């Protein structure tokens, strides 16, 4: 009787009896025993285990495919042969016992290998789980940790002690933006996905590869290796097998740390694997990273910034600095740009490059921007109260604001609260490719009579074509554009024509990054009269700026 006779398999499974199959490299597959019946003289049955997948519940088929592919890859003569370490490989899945009624079944493969550790024979037993086995399985699936981190470290140390001459690595991985998956598909789906990972790791990892679910969606594996390529190949297997759940799109990120000294705490190398993983979470082009010395600094700094940013706002640790804008012709201040510095009690002054990019990513920049807007309004109000002629102060508005629409109300409320003419609060926006949201935000600013400055013109996406229909009032020439072009005759002509063309269509200009007298004189000859840069002044405290302002008036 051939395996293609599905009625026999149906009978065996529906009666919860044991289905026993045998495979060897010479004779292929045979059913040995089923429902206490013995079959002999049967024809070979190719891919019997693969054929069993038709009885597996749809939700469990991804896990079953991982199981089947590992068996297939370890078989003698496989095109993609992978040596098999285990004596037994098993999987537990729901199978269709009778008339679309599914119950838990265990499929166990007892392995026979040759000297190359290729599978040359298998006894395969398929049987229903009893109530106690089902309870233990469900309990394990609902636990946060398949094996607790403490137990993982303990067992890993024991493995290393047994073979101290071996080379070991810790691999840590998680799902990039797992929170978004929970929000899109629900927490039940998220739990199913993580359980699929656990079940698949049981199949993918051999007896010498220890694995654990650490917390949430973070998993860790300890594996022996000979070369770095061994680790890369192993990770590629994991990545390929785990990215097949219910046709859902998600990305896995892997960090690797080599166990360099078996006498050091293993947790140290686990932390290094975590740092490597975290270092590429925002890099969509990379999914494997190996730990390198110094890698932890940026990660730890980022964590410090995020842990302290809310408190810093409340405690007024963000301080507004002003960088003057000068008239080249008259050598007098004609305005200022509001910049932010973070003066942190524990670390002193934190560079904007250490926190602004992170605030742009996590959205906190909107709160910080609004804080600086109010600080600028306070300063302008103080000038008016002191009888000084106010200078326009330009404040930066992140593109994140333009997508909300609330920011214009905040700006209007601040101008009204501090009773300052709107012309003194100018808005700087970085020139980028515009979408519907940003274009709408810019249009709203113009409708509310704010002066708009296009920051960093000449870098990124900018081009002369963007000036044709621009709603900006002032163009700020990027310091890189100026420095790159001013050192050659051809470059100087480009700068000169850009300035002349911009002025001819009614836009004002400010040149950023002016560092020498020669640069200032060249810009003046080209028709640009306003400059900003270290040649004139570095960013300074409000007190220093006020002193200069009073001296000029």
Q: Which CATH superfamily is domain 143-293 in?
A: Reverse transcriptase/Diguanylate cyclase domain (3.30.70.270)
The CA distance from 223 to 365, in Å, is 42
The CA distance from 535 to 82, in Å, is 66
DSSP class of residue 261 equals -
Instruction: Specify the pLDDT at position 25.
Output: 83
CA angle 165, 168, 169 (to 5 degrees): 165
Instruction: Specify the pLDDT at position 32.
Output: 65
The 10 Å Cβ neighbour count of residue 33 is 16
Q: According to CATH, what is the number of the domain 6-138? A: 3.30.450.20
| Closest among 339, 322, 457 to 383, alpha carbons compared | 322
Q: State the first-to-last Cα distance of the chain, in angstroms, to the nearest integer.
A: 106
CA angle 419, 422, 424 (to 5 degrees): 100
DSSP class of residue 18 equals P
The 10 Å Cβ neighbour count of residue 549 is 19
> Using an 8 Å Cβ cutoff, are 172 and 223 in contact?
no
Instruction: Specify the pLDDT at position 490.
Output: 86
> Using an 8 Å Cβ cutoff, are 197 and 219 in contact?
yes
* Chain centre to alpha carbon of residue 283: 6
**Tens digit of pLDDT at every position of the chain (553 positions):** 334 444 445 545 554 567 787 888 887 777 765 443 333 333 444 467 777 777 788 777 877 888 888 888 888 877 778 788 778 887 887 777 555 667 778 888 888 988 888 888 888 888 887 776 776 666 555 444 444 566 677 778 878 888 888 889 999 999 888 877 877 888 888 888 888 888 888 888 877 788 888 877 888 889 989 899 999 989 998 898 888 778 788 889 999 999 887 777 777 888 888 888 888 877 777 889 898 876 656 666 777 888 889 999 999 999 999 999 999 999 999 999 999 999 998 888 888 888 888 888 888 999 999 999 999 999 999 999 999 999 999 999 988 887 777 899 999 999 999 999 999 999 998 765 455 567 788 888 999 999 999 887 876 544 566 677 788 899 898 887 787 778 788 888 888 888 888 888 888 999 999 999 999 999 999 999 899 999 999 999 999 999 999 998 8
Instruction: For tokens 């113009």, name the residue.
Output: 446
> Using an 8 Å Cβ cutoff, are 70 and 204 in contact?
yes
For residue 432, the SS3 value is coil
For residue 319, the SS3 value is strand
The CA distance from 496 to 489, in Å, is 11
pTM of the model as a whole = 0.55
Structural domain boundaries in the chain = 6-138, 143-293, 317-552
Q: Which CATH superfamily is domain 317-552 in?
A: EAL domain (3.20.20.450)
The CA distance from 290 to 269, in Å, is 11
């Amino acid at each position: 009787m051939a395996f293609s006779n599905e009625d026999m398999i149906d009978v065996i499974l529906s009666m919860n009896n044991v289905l026993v199959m045998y495979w060897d490299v010479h004779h292929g597959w045979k059913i040995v025993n089923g429902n206490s019946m013995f079959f002999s003289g049967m024809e070979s049955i190719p891919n019997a285990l693969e054929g069993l997948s038709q009885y597996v519940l749809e939700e469990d088929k991804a896990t079953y495919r991982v199981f089947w592919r590992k068996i297939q890859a370890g078989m003698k003569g496989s095109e993609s042969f992978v040596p098999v370490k285990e004596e037994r490989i098993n999987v537990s899945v729901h199978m269709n016992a009778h008339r679309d009624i599914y119950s838990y079944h265990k499929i166990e493969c007892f392995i026979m290998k040759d000297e190359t550790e290729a599978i040359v024979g298998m006894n395969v037993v398929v049987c229903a789980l009893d109530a106690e086995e089902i309870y233990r399985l469900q309990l394990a699936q609902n636990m946060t940790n398949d094996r607790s981190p403490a137990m993982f470290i303990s067992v890993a140390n024991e493995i290393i002690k047994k073979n101290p001459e071996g080379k070991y690595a810790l691999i840590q991985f998680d799902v990039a933006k797992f929170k978004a998956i929970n929000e899109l598909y629900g927490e039940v789906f998220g739990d199913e996905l993580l359980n699929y990972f656990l079940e698949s790791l049981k199949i993918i990892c051999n007896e010498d590869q220890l694995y654990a679910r650490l917390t949430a969606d973070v998993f860790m594996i300890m594996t022996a290796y000979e070369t770095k390529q061994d680790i890369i190949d192993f990770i590629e297997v994991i990545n390929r097998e785990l990215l097949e759940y219910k046709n859902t799109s998600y990305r896995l990120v892997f960090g690797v740390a080599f166990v360099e000294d078996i006498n050091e705490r293993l947790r140290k190398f686990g932390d290094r694997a975590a740092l490597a993983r975290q270092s590429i979470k925002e890099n969509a082009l990379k999914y494997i990273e190996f730990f390198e010395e110094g890698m932890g600094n940026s990660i730890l700094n980022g964590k410090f910034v995020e842990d302290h940013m809310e408190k810093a706002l409340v405690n007024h640790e963000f301080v507004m600095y002003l960088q003057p804008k000068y008239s080249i012709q008259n050598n007098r201040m004609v305005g200022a740009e509001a910049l932010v510095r973070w003066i942190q009690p524990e670390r002193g002054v934190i560079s904007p490059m250490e926190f602004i990019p992170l605030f742009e990513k996590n959205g906190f920049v909107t709160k910080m921007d609004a804080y600086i807007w109010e600080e600028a309004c306070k300063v302008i109000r103080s000038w008016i109260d002191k009888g000084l002629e106010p200078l326009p102060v330009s404040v930066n508005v992140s593109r994140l604001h333009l997508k909300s629409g609330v920011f214009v109300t905040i700006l209007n409320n601040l101008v009204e609260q501090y009773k300052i003419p709107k012309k003194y609060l100018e808005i700087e926006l970085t020139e980028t490719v515009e979408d519907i949201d940003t274009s709408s935000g810019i249009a709203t600013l113009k409708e509310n009579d704010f002066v708009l400055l296009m920051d960093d013109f000449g870098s990124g996406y900018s081009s002369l074509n963007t000036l044709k229909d621009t709603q900006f009032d002032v163009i700020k020439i990027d310091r890189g554009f100026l420095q790159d072009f001013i050192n050659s005759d051809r470059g100087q002509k480009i700068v000169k024509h850009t300035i002349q063309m911009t002025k001819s269509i009614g836009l004002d200009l400010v040149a950023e990054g002016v560092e020498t007298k020669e640069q200032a004189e060249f810009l003046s000859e080209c028709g640009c009269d306003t400059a900003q840069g270290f040649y004139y002044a570095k960013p300074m405290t409000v007190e220093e700026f006020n002193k200069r302002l009073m001296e000029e008036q």
